[in-house]
Amino acid sequence: MQRKKIAVIGIGSFGKLFVRYLFEDGHEVIAIDKDPVVIDSIKDFVTVAVTLDATDEHALRSQGIGDVDYAVIALADDFETSIICADSLKKSGVSLIYARYQTELQKKVLELLGIRDLFNPEERAAKSMAETFSFAGMRSSFLLSDEYSVVEVTVPKRYINKTIAEADLRHKYNINVITIKRPTTNKDSKRTSDSKIEKILGIPHGNTVLREDDIVVLFGSQTDLTKFLET
């Protein structure tokens, strides 16, 4: 993994989790928020934690904002600040800007400003949960974009004891098997509650046999995945 320099502006509930995950993955993370209490709470989980007003272009430049690989505007409740911040980031030379939106109007305004990488974590979470309830065997789903997803499903009965090559999901549905999670027993566990674990089999080969209770991790377009799940 290549280490990136990432600035995250707006450390709310989403921002706190986001910067911690980025930092744990080894990235250089600059956390920016105008609330000193928030910054103090996150300072041990990022590379740099700065209290400043994101609408102040000179303050942003003083933090070397133009040198970051990515800037993420994670503000949720102050759209006016998001707009001013986006404009300041562009003027500071940041080429890759991700901005959070809550409504379609906000999305359109950001697009008019030239911000193309937009996200709505609540919308993605809601859609992912809805999909989990909608399809039999669905364990979880993760939206990679508006078009593509990764999903985990219990292997359908029609594929039990068949190899991946025999299932032929790549040609039948245009989806790929990323890996398989196989339930197994941890013999070294002292507690019964910890004895059952899921072993990840790595990148599966065509001759890998699908067993009952296997969890298949699939990648594909949402259209193709839906066709597979509805069958």
Contact 40, 66 (CB under 8 A): no
Q: What is the DSSP letter of 139?
A: E
Say what the pTM is. 0.62
Report the Cα–Cα distance between both ends of the chain, in Å, rounded: 37
Q: Are residues 104 and 137 in the same domain?
A: no
What CATH number did the domain enclosing 169 receive?
Answer: 3.30.70.1450
**Strand ranges across the sheet with 215-221:** 138-143, 148-154, 215-221, 176-185, 196-200
Do 152 and 80 share a structural domain?
no
Q: State whether 156 and 102 are in the same domain.
A: no
Residues 10 and 94 in one domain: yes
Mean pLDDT throughout 93-118? 91
Q: Could you give the percent of the chain with pLDDT greater than 70?
A: 89
CA dihedral sign, ordered 225, 173, 119, 41 = positive
Same domain, yes or no: 106 and 45: yes
- Residue 77 — very low, low, confident or very high, per pLDDT cuts 50/70/90? confident
For residues 78 and 3, what is the distance between their CA atoms, to the nearest angstrom?
Answer: 30
Domain count across the chain: 2
Same domain, yes or no: 101 and 130: no
150 and 198 both lie in a single domain:
yes
Domain at 72, CATH number: 3.40.50.720
Q: Which domain holds residue 67?
A: 5-119
Cβ atoms 199, 216 nearer than 8 A: no
Of 77, 103, 119, which one is at a domain's C-terminal end?
A: 119
Amino acid 67: pLDDT: 93
For residue 46, pLDDT beyond 60:
yes
Q: Which residues contact 205 (CB under 8 A, 6 or more apart)?
A: 164
